[in-house]
Amino acid sequence: MNPTIEVSVPKEIIQMILEGAKTLHPKETIFLLRGKTHVDKITISEIVIPPSATYGKGFASLPMFMMPIDFSIIGTAHSHPSGSLALSVEDLNHALGKVLLLVAYPYDGIDSLAVYNRKGEKLKLRVT
Ligand SMILES: [Zn+2]
């Protein structure tokens, strides 16, 4: 746990990620996250569907060359149909941005959610 950094995410965005994950289940879903980073706080303001959606192929297959050159992308959100709220080695190896938001089956609200930095340390999540 790295309690010094708080990630705030609007309720609507959480809802969209959970819905997206439910829709794609049992495949994996992925979104890009747009927002701002501050010294002790990361604020997510928007979710973006990756260009040339690679839904269902797993997080690791998201091709970097297809990423928008957009420095407001500060992280990703993806689902774990397995129900695990732990990051995999692939997740960390392919981490993009500063934040990895994870939703796990059964995608049931805040308990199905975890947020990490790219070192794999769990961050504090604040729903706004
Ligand atoms: Zn993963």
Q: pLDDT tens digit string along 9-65? A: 999 999 999 999 999 899 888 898 999 999 899 999 999 887 655 555 555 455 555
Residue 114 — very low, low, confident or very high, per pLDDT cuts 50/70/90? very high
pTM value is 0.85
Q: In whole numbers, what is the pLDDT of the chain averaged over residues?
A: 86
Distance 86 CA to ligand 1 centre (A): 8
* Location of structure tokens 């149909």: 81
Q: Rounded to the nearest 10 degrees, how much is the dihedral formed by the CA atoms of 36, 92, 5, 104? A: 90
| pLDDT reported for residue 48 | 86
Question: Residue 104 Cα, ligand 1 centroid: separation in angstroms?
Answer: 9
Q: Which of 118, 69, 111 is nearest to 91 (CA)?
A: 118
Helix (H, G, I), strand (E, B) or coil at 64: helix
Tokens 């995410």 sit at which residue? 9
Domains, the chain, with CATH or none: 2-127 (3.40.140.10)
Distance 96 CA to ligand 1 centre (A): 12
